[in-house]
Amino acid sequence: MMKFKETTLKDVWLIEPTLHGDERGHFLEVFREEYFREQGVTCTFVQDNVSVSKKGTLRGLHYQCNPYAQAKLVMAIEGEILDVAVDLRKNSDTFGKYFKAKLSSKNRTMMLIPVGFAHGFSVLSEEATVYYKCSQYYNKESERGIKWNDQEIGIDWEVKNPIVSEKDKKNINFMDIIPSDLF
């Protein structure tokens, strides 16, 4: 079984899988379609990715425009991250708001981020390996990004002097998103 916990953003879920452990270690299910469907989650995952990053790395905030928009199921399989989702659904009550949670290899919590959200994370441990499932293939032409330090959103990433890619340094402010890129 998996425990699905609602967050402050509609359709963003924290998911706690059941750990089955003994003296050898533990086992858990990361994804089981029937459990997700019971919560109304009907996306089909088509691509799995792994990201390895050192402490202080900040990746994001990323999203893809329609028709290549992605839902993501994110899990830290090693280390600890601060995972963040920002609501880009223009008719949502929480448009422009964010939710963040610590995901780690200790708590095994996952975050489900549906289509219509930007996503990013910062690395809190010495190193983190992040595994995530995507509901759409990566498409370079539809890729977009919001500045990680956008003051309109105001996220505390819990890292000082984050390591940010050159590409992410060129991301735009939230207020500068082209309306047709919203959901």
- The CATH number corresponding to 2-19+32-181 among 2.60.120.10, 1.10.287.130, 1.10.540.10, 3.30.43.10 equals 2.60.120.10
* Residues 148 and 157 sit within 8 Å (Cβ to Cβ): yes
Residues with catalytic function? 62, 132
Residues 109-163 pLDDT 10s: 999 999 999 999 999 999 999 999 999 999 999 999 999 999 999 999 999 999 9
Concatenating the DSSP letter of every residue in 66-112 gives TTS---EEEEEEESEEEEEEEE--TTSTTTT-EEEEEEETTT--EEE
CA atoms of 100 and 7, how far apart (whole Å): 9
Residues 27-57 pLDDT 10s: 888 898 999 999 999 999 999 999 999 999 9
Domain map of the chain by residue range? 2-19+32-181
* Residues 57 and 162 sit within 8 Å (Cβ to Cβ): yes
